[in-house]
Amino acid sequence: MSARAAGFKFIDLPTSAERLGITRNELLQLVSEGRIKPFSGSGQQSVFRASDIERLTQELAAPVAAPPEPEAPAEEAAGAAPTTTTPGRVRRRDPIKLIGTRLSMDSRWAEISDADIATWLDALEPVQFERVRKVSNLAVERLQRVLAMLDDQENKLNLRSK
């Protein structure tokens, strides 16, 4: 189904890349080469006309691809909310937006004092302790993984620039 048939005149960068069957960075490279121009925005915030994406799809001789089935993340396997919002409709799980939003929310921990935590703990029911401990450990584990992968990425980029 074309984007126009679905009623969308404009498509964000992640959806455009999915429809073209390419990565976001490949789409940004096509923008820098002048093969497609965003309607508005730049970089990861680019928005494209659906008709331009359809034209580029034909130009690249690639069929309009349906978004791939996302792998179930560990949180879902552990019983977190499913990725479906209504029967037959799958919620998009965009890693860039997901992680960016999560990190911006987590940055607000700097606003919380030890006194705030103590007050919250006083109000917490003892039956919740184990769940809070589990969720806290999971968050710490994931953030440590983000830091480790960030270090790895920086090391890769430093090696290339030398």
The range of the structural domain enclosing residue 14 comes to 10-59
**Contact status, residue 17 vs residue 57, Cβ threshold 8 Å:** no
pLDDT digits (tens, 9 = 90+) for 14-52: 888 888 888 888 888 888 888 888 887 777 778 899 888
- Is residue 142 situated within a structural domain? yes
Q: Are residues 95 and 149 in the same domain?
A: yes
Q: What is the dihedral sign for C-alpha 79, 82, 86, 87?
A: negative
- Is residue 65 situated within a structural domain? no
The pLDDT score that the predictor gives to residue 114 is 95
- Mean pLDDT over 108-122 rounds to 92
Between 44 and 149, the more confident residue is 149
With a pLDDT cut of 90, the percent of the chain lying above it is 24
Q: Are residues 36 and 95 in the same domain?
A: no
135 band by pLDDT with thresholds 50, 70 and 90? very high
Q: Are residues 96 and 139 in the same domain?
A: yes
With a pLDDT cut of 70, the percent of the chain lying above it is 73
Which of 4-8, 28-32, 104-108 is predicted with the least confidence, judged by mean pLDDT?
Answer: 4-8
Report in angstroms the alpha-carbon separations of 1 from 6, 35, 36, 54, 122: 7, 23, 21, 11, 55
Q: How many domains does the chain have?
A: 2
Kindly tell me if the per-residue pLDDT of 63 is higher than 90.
Answer: no
The pLDDT score that the predictor gives to residue 64 is 46
The pLDDT score that the predictor gives to residue 131 is 94
- Is residue 38 situated within a structural domain? yes
Q: Helix, strand, coil proportions of the chain in percent (round to 5)?
A: 60, 5, 35
- Is residue 34 situated within a structural domain? yes
Lookup result for tokens 């999915």: 18
Between 135 and 45, the more confident residue is 135
The pLDDT score that the predictor gives to residue 1 is 47
Element (H, E) at 68: none
78 band by pLDDT with thresholds 50, 70 and 90? very low
Q: State the chain's mean pLDDT as an integer.
A: 77
- Is residue 126 situated within a structural domain? yes
Task: Write out the two tokens for 54.
Answer: 């359809």
